[in-house]
Structure 1
């Protein structure tokens, strides 16, 4: 836990104490019923804390995951609740999550993902431009040494690093065209070689 987490925990503890004190003062005559209600609220509070603390585990269990069928040469990406398709690829040995964008001509990394893939920010030359839904952005052309998705590994894959803010790296057609078949059916995006 960070210092901010401890501060928030202390704040919540103080707030809970003040509310509990007020509740006891208001209901002195009905102490038994007050204790029952307080116990119920404590359980609700603890349950909420447990869900918040375990949310990433819960989401990972409930959310559909990409499926690799190596023997068939297929990769099936389930449709996410937001309607998009996401894939986790090993870029230069680091797992990076991409949003699949068949409308994008190139594969574009965020600066943070580029750093995770071993591309140093001070070595990037942002001299090319790309038109996005938010207007023109400067990009740095790069070559990714290795890109792996399931059993498929490609070398020297062209990509771009976006100089601006992006929430998600995009997997565009410069990579997707390496597959012989791209199909969307039954809530899945299927890639085959």
Structure 2
């Protein structure tokens, strides 16, 4: 009777079941903006994080101002974003645009949309690459907003390329197989 492969399979499943929570915590340190929960008991938060890790997604914690933020690499430069599901495109502050090497003249400014305070002026741009954890989008439509924008916005021109965006309480899950 050959039992070697069956025992190996059972041992592998047991090992993966034992190590997966540890791997999930390791993934959180790299991709999540908040510390792992102190409790080792299963919770909705732990389940959301584990699901996101297993499906290749990213979990963002709601911040004190009620928004979700992510750090992404834009054309090889780290950029801090407010995740804005209502923004049509990615919008870069003037400071962030300069940091990644984009330049413009005042004459390049055109009306690009309407905001709460009226017409928004900016410079249309196309970003070669945005990378957030394991997901990369290329040739992403964007706009440079030289004045009036405090933080860059990660809008639908990037988010629509993910497999999904879901809010679960105070956590937002980006991408993955959701």
Tell me if both proteins adopt one fold, taking TM over 0.5 as the criterion: yes
- Between the aligned partners of 1:150 and 1:167, the Cα distance in structure 2 is 24
Which of 130, 154, 164 aligns to 1:147? It is 130
Q: Work out whether 1:174 is the aligned partner of 2:172.
A: no
Which of 78, 84, 88 aligns to 1:105? It is 88
Q: Give the conservation status (yes or no) of the 8 Å contact 1:115–1:121.
A: no
Q: Give the conservation status (yes or no) of the 8 Å contact 1:75–1:150.
A: yes
Which of 101, 104, 107 aligns to 1:121? It is 104
> 1:64 corresponds to which residue?
34
TM (norm. structure 2) is 0.66
Structure 2's unaligned 5+ residue stretches are 1-32, 37-48
- Between the aligned partners of 2:101 and 2:107, the Cα distance in structure 1 is 11
Q: Give the conservation status (yes or no) of the 8 Å contact 2:104–2:123.
A: no
More helix per residue: 1
Which of 162, 168, 176 aligns to 1:185? It is 168
* Greater relative contact order (CA < 8 Å, ≥ 6 in sequence): 2
Distance 1:65 1:171, change over 3 A: farther
For the residue of structure 1 that corresponds to 2:112, the secondary structure is strand
Structure 1's unaligned 5+ residue stretches are 1-62
Q: Work out whether 1:130 is the aligned partner of 2:113.
A: yes
- Rg larger for: 1
